[in-house]
Chain A
Amino acid sequence: MSLDVIMDIVSWIAILAGSAFMLIGAIGTLRFPDFWARVHAVSVTDSAGMLLLTLGMCIQGGFTLVTAKLVIIGVFLFITGPTATHAVANAALVSGFLPKGADKFCSEKKKLSPEVKKTKAKKRAPLKGKL
C-alpha cells in the first residue's frame, strides 16, 4: 500500500468517526429527557466530532494553506464551543433551573453555586421549569 492510500484511509476513518459523533449528538439533543442531558449530549459530541472532522480534512489537504486555515478554524471552534455551552448552562443554573434529582444530593439550592445563593438572597421570581 502506498502512502497516499494509507493517508486516505486514516482521513476517512477520522471523517466518518466525526460524522458519527455529530449524528449521535443530534439524536441525543432530540431524544434526551431534560435540558441538562441535552446540553451534555450536544456539547461533548460536538467538540469531538468537530476535532475529528477537521483532522480528517487536514490529512486530505496535505501541507497547504487550506490545512493552515483548517487548523485555525479547529482551534477557534475548540475554544468557542465549550464556552457557548458554559454560557447556556451557567445561565440556566443561575436562573434556578436544577438538573433532575439534584435535590437528593444537596439539601438546599444555594449550596450549588455562589451565584444561586446571591440571586436567592434577593428574592428572585422562580423561573424553574420555564427554560
Chain B
Amino acid sequence: MSALPLLEVDDLRVTFNTASGPVHAVDGVSFTMEPGASLGVVGESGSGKSVTARALLRLFAITDDVRVAGSVHFDGVDLLRVDERRLRHVRGGQIGMIFQDPLTSLNPLMAVGEQIAESLRLHRGMGRAEAASEAVELLARVGIADPEKRATELPSSFSGGMRQRVMISLAIACRPRLLIADEPTTALDVTVQAEILLLLDELRRSEGMALMLITHDFGVVAATCEDVQVMYAGKLVEKASMAHLFDRANHPYTEGLLRLVPRFEDAHTGRLHPIPGQPPITGGGGSSCAFAPRCDHAFDRCRAEVPPEVAVGPEHLSACWLAAERARDTIEAGRPWKRDR
C-alpha cells in the first residue's frame, strides 16, 4: 500500500449501558478502506453493522448511555477523539451518510432544496442563491425530474424512492470522500431498489468516493460492492472480495446467510433454509464463538474460546475455529490456502 488508507478502523468497541446490563453492540471490529473502495457490510438485525456506521461519526442519541473504544482514523485523524467542531466538519463535508428510512429521514416541514442547500452553505461556504441553484443541480444529478419545481416542495410530495434520491443528493452534496449507506434500499420496492443501487454505484465511480454499504441482503452487496465483510454479534466473522466470498464462503454463518438467498433451483421444492435460533441480544463480549449455539459444525473449542481471524485465502479472513484448525492442518500438509472439502 502506497498511501494512507482513507479509513482505518482499529478494534472498535461500542457498549450500550442499558437497564438490563451492558450490550456489546460492536465488539472489536477492525478494517480499512482505500479511497474509492466499495465495501459491503452484511449481517442480521442486531449484528452491530448499523452501530458500527454510526460510531464512525459518533452519531448517537443524546440519551444513549454509550461507551466507544478503539480508534477510527479518517484521513489520518482519529474521529473518536477529535473535538466536536472538527467532527462536524467531517460530518456531511467529508463523510456523507444515507439512512434506512427515507420517509422519516427528511424534515417534513422544510423544502427539500432547502435541506440540501443547508449542507452546501455549511461546508462549501455558498451563499443562499448559489446553494439553492446547486441544490437544483444535485436533484437533477440523482434523477429527479423537474428539479427546479421539486426543490421547493416538501418531502411529503415525494414517493419513497424519490425521497431516497433526495437523501442521496443531500449526502453527496459536499462531495464527501466516503459515503456510508445504512440499509438504503430496505424500505423500498424491489424495482426502486435496483435503481437506487445503480445510482449509488454510478455516483461512486464518477465522484471517486468510497462507499460503505450496510445491508442484510447479499443481493444488494453483490450488485454494488467489491469487498464484503460479514458481521455477527458485534464481530467481523468473515472478510473477502465479493467474488471470492460467493464462491468460497468459509464461515458457517456466511454459508447460512448465502443459503438464505432464495434460489431459482429451489423454486420447485418451495423450501427456504433459515438459520435456526436467534443472535444473542447482548451482542458480543462472550468467551466463546458467538455463533456456536446456532452452528452445525460447532465443536468443543468453539464453545470454549473466541476464534481468531485466520487467512483462508488471498485477502480472505474468517473467524472460525474450523478454518483455524483446517488452516493449521493444511499448513502442516504443505498446502497453504487450499481447502479440501
Indicate whether A and B interact: no
